[in-house]
Structure 1
């Protein structure tokens, strides 16, 4: 796909200056075209801050967590001095992935030929390599990927070019101040396969308009669409919606998180840091919708339930986590049916861009940001 074609696509999508009331949704090609997905990955995803893990998942010296992001095997580690690092999880010898899953270790050891690496990325051992007179062990180390911690998430920038995340989204940080995401820990996770475009998931997540139809029995009674509002992002790369919680919904949450009081104690707030950190909170718990894009029509979705550290240690947390995942199963089943239906509909000859409903302003904010990123080069 040429640069001219991209400019045509951007023009077709309404351009970057279209006002909300006059704007229309992205045309079908933005969800179907594999070449366009590759451009999104290179121009938008790799150039931005992407969520890898929660700091609480690598809290102690020696802790590590391996994950893949846009096809890049990465490992977050806490070295002996307590310094958090994000390293390439690919051995410098024959490119074998080194660490798997999550755990604690003294060194990272490749299972292929037992090359080992200290937790700062430097080479610790390379069996029988002394016989190679030109081998310089001091020159061998795992590349370190730029990262930044924001609200307890380990955010990585794969191409190393992005401005500081915190400096780009001060208004969102201010709106989340009462939730205190910083120390929240994961108590339950579940992964779902998604055979539709990653943007459909982001757009479905960020608006409450669809509660009215899609979740009319599961979510609408607890988080009514009509009691929702969208925040103004001031041109920053995020969106957010706030919904009033029904008393029955709040009763399921347990004690409020630290700092949550007043009006905030009675609402649910969801937000997206572009391109795809999707999360939210209400009363006594929070959640993170982790996306792993793979192709134009395929990605993985992992739901994480987040609670305060003291909550995680309380009796009954297993029951709370299980009940939360049971509710998420229902919501994800409903969302999956809709998202899969949208992907199928976009393939129709008659599919076209449509108008935004007022509660879909977060989608417009996201799409405008995406178009600006694609057209910037």
Structure 2
């Protein structure tokens, strides 16, 4: 890169932004959101190397059940094989390089829609029609490239990077913070996907801070917490977090009466966890919801939106009614967030706009900016 390279300029601006103490922090520079060159650098230096979330493990319970995703432009399959092993592999045929599967579903084998080359669920080649006359072809030497995937507390975590630190080690402090809620036992009850006209970081930052709740969510959850009682601790290298002590407005947000493990305020604390780069989790004693973000250029983001309930609430006969009420509320919250984050992106494109100082309630945003700066290459 040269000194005039737009991505380098944006990286330098970001590094200058996070070089000051938090008490003097400003919102990230506009170039970090709107520069196509910076967006390309994020794909290479963040999304291609760090751990990403493909959703909940219980979405892939049975052999042959699969989902597909793209990581830094790379088509990927995540599935459960015949031995019950969670696998990640390339979604590109080893013959003429057609993509193989689309969306979600269940298969007994992976069949290329172009020439019917067929792969087993472990990625090995089962058959290839009319290849016997090619002297270079050896079926046993053909298999779909494998991609690292692990079950982390019930989350499907995947990375293209064979050298990425073990996710259980890098996120062990998350387990220390919320291990008492046993995320692995929560069951997903809905999973949706949509695309918004904003930068992925705008949506990530929107999740990370609760400063916007009273105004942006005045019609829904804005009155469910007191900002004066909120604390935002300094984040960690791989994540940031804060919490909200909820009132009784949403029963499902509280520990179920049968849950005797949780006592005191732990029965009503909602945790907001931002797992870098793009997994955002709201975790209550009763239910959870999450966003997993995929950038789509500077001005759009693809969003995986899912959620469900704790084991105690799943066993409650009234759980479906409670969940329906919470899901309706979350749908309204998403509409409000869409409006707020798309307005922010329109403002970022304004010639007259400029980043302003951060509130103490936006500490997670500053920590997120420091993560982004660390991941970018040195000048």
- What TM-score does the superposition give when structure 1 sets the normalisation length? 0.92
Indicate the residue corresponding to 1:33 in structure 2.
Answer: 35
Asked whether the equivalents of residues 89 and 99 of structure 1 are also in contact (C-alpha less than 8 Å), the reply is: yes
Describe the superposition over 1:18-59 as per-residue Cα deviations: whole angstroms up to 9, x where unpaired: 210112121111111111100011011211111113211112
Asked whether the equivalents of residues 255 and 267 of structure 2 are also in contact (C-alpha less than 8 Å), the reply is: no
Q: Does 1:293 align with 2:287?
A: no
CA distance in 2 between counterparts of 1:318 and 1:66 reads 29
Q: Does 1:250 align with 2:251?
A: yes
Change (3 A) 1:252 1:182: closer
Indicate the residue corresponding to 2:242 in structure 1.
Answer: 241
| Unmatched segments (≥5 aa) in structure 1 | none
The within-5 A match list for 1:1-377 is 2=2, 5=5, 6=7, 8-13=9-14, 14-233=16-235, 235-250=236-251, 255=256, 259-308=261-310, 311-312=313-314, 315=317, 317-376=319-378
Worse-superposed segment, 183-192 or 351-360? 183-192
Worse-superposed segment, 59-68 or 267-276? 59-68
Asked whether the equivalents of residues 17 and 26 of structure 2 are also in contact (C-alpha less than 8 Å), the reply is: no
Q: CA deviation at 1:172?
A: 2.0
Q: CA deviation at 1:155?
A: 1.1
CA distance in 1 between counterparts of 2:312 and 2:255 reads 12
Pairwise CA RMSD of aligned residues? 2.3
Q: CA deviation at 1:333?
A: 1.2
Asked whether the equivalents of residues 270 and 281 of structure 1 are also in contact (C-alpha less than 8 Å), the reply is: yes
- What TM-score does the superposition give when structure 2 sets the normalisation length? 0.91
Worse-superposed segment, 163-172 or 44-53? 163-172
| Unmatched segments (≥5 aa) in structure 2 | none
Aligned residues: 376
Asked whether the equivalents of residues 253 and 268 of structure 2 are also in contact (C-alpha less than 8 Å), the reply is: no
CA distance in 1 between counterparts of 2:212 and 2:67 reads 35
Describe the superposition over 1:111-166 as per-residue Cα deviations: whole angstroms up to 9, x where unpaired: 22221111111001111212323211111101111123222111111132321122
CA distance in 1 between counterparts of 2:263 and 2:329 reads 25
Describe the superposition over 1:83-127 as per-residue Cα deviations: whole angstroms up to 9, x where unpaired: 211111111122222223333333112222221111111001111
CA distance in 2 between counterparts of 1:189 and 1:220 reads 24
Change (3 A) 1:3 1:332: farther
Could you say what secondary structure the match of 2:157 adopts? Answer: strand
